[in-house]
Amino acid sequence: MKRLAVLGAGSWGTALAIALAPRFEEIRLWARDPAKAREMATMRENRIYLPGFRLPDGIRVSHELADSLAGADVILSVVPSRHLRSVLALAAPYISNKTPVVSATKGIEEETLYRMSEVVAESLGGSGHSPIAVLSGPTFAAEIAAGEPAAVVIASADAALAGQVQQAFATPALRFYSSRDVTGVEIGAALKNVIAIGAGICHGLGLGSNSVAALVTRGLAEITRLALVMNASPGTLSGLAGLGDLVLTATGNLSRNRSVGIRLGQGQQLPQILAATTMVAEGVSTCRAAHRLGRKHGVDLPIIQRMYEVLYEGKDPRMAIKQLMERPLTSE
């Protein structure tokens, strides 16, 4: 693998391109906005989403999909979940069914309740699609771009593909573990963002570490219950893509989803919060999809249910926490 195409020039896509630059002769980074692509190509920096980090010389920035995908040995998809299907529909004519696609998007498609790898597969032609893997784990973009040590998971139903990507992407600062549990990795990656909003609400309400620890632990139980019903492996949810990512996102100061929760706990309204940031907090849309998934599979998701009520039904965050505490007593 000599040429990498990265679809999506947000903070995460840019950070991965920077981190993986030493591993590839050339990386082509696709930005949806032509003006943004021109600025990044000229200034050699993503001043909107990842300021302060220079793009290595081996990274070419473009807004043309044909140019970005030409000759790619592997494609890394980092498009926000709500745009993924539309972008892949435009990209599909330029993607060979033999070129591996690695999905690094965390979320669930609201309309279909598909995981991101399922959206990729359907968008690229169903059963004859490109080989697919997913990338997830406890990572903040700025720390990855800075070269700080981190560990992530590459999952694929094709163990050989997972191993191939693992070897191609590994750097001295970025350690990759392989897995075949695509469902567990993706469910953990998506739902942890919803729990992180709840952890942020606790902080915004002025609650202490005990409250956050309880919510995170019971949140992991919810994620695991749903994932297991969907045929995930329980070990996955106790690993990097489950517990690791949840702890980081629910407690880290760089977490977008936690930040949304903090502002909700402080009394701000969701439209006001979302209008004030250029970053995507995937947990907001994922909450609605997760709420539907729980109903579809008959799984009790009390924290996600309360987050849904706060985000979409106007429930007071303090009342949501109170109702969680007053639920009937049960065993762990």
The token pair that represents 260 in the structure block: 């949304």
Identified catalytic residue from 36, 192, 296, 315: 192
**Topology given in CATH for the domain delimited by 183-325:** N-(1-d-carboxylethyl)-l-norvaline Dehydrogenase; domain 2 (1.10.1040)
| Res 280 pLDDT > 80 | no
For residue 14, give the 3-state DSSP assignment: helix
With tokens 């593909």, the residue in question is 161
Give the angle subtended at the CA of 120 by the CAs of 116 and 123, to the nearest 5°: 130
Could you tell me which of 15, 61, 48, 13 has the C-alpha nearest to residue 278? 48
What's the pLDDT at 126? 66
The Cα 56–Cα 303 span in angstroms is 42
Q: What are the start and end residues of each CATH 3.40.50.720 domain in the chain? A: 3-180
With tokens 């109170």, the residue in question is 322
What's the pLDDT at 127? 58
- Reply yes or no on whether 36 is catalytic: no
The predicted-structure confidence for 131-188, as pLDDT tens digits, reads as follows: 999 999 999 999 999 999 999 999 999 999 999 999 999 999 999 999 999 999 999 9
The token pair that represents 74 in the structure block: 């592997």
Q: Are the beta carbons of 281 and 257 closer than 8 angstroms?
A: yes
pTM of the predicted model as reported, rounded to 2 decimal places: 0.95
The per-residue pLDDT of the chain, averaged, comes to 96
The token pair that represents 302 in the structure block: 């009390």
The predicted-structure confidence for 88-138, as pLDDT tens digits, reads as follows: 999 999 999 999 999 999 999 999 999 999 999 999 986 567 899 999 999
Q: Regarding the domain with residue range 3-180, which homologous superfamily does it belong to in the CATH classification?
A: NAD(P)-binding Rossmann-like Domain (3.40.50.720)
Q: What are the start and end residues of each CATH 1.10.1040.10 domain in the chain? A: 183-325
CA-derived radius of gyration, the chain? 19
| Res 211 pLDDT > 90 | yes
For residue 17, give the 3-state DSSP assignment: helix
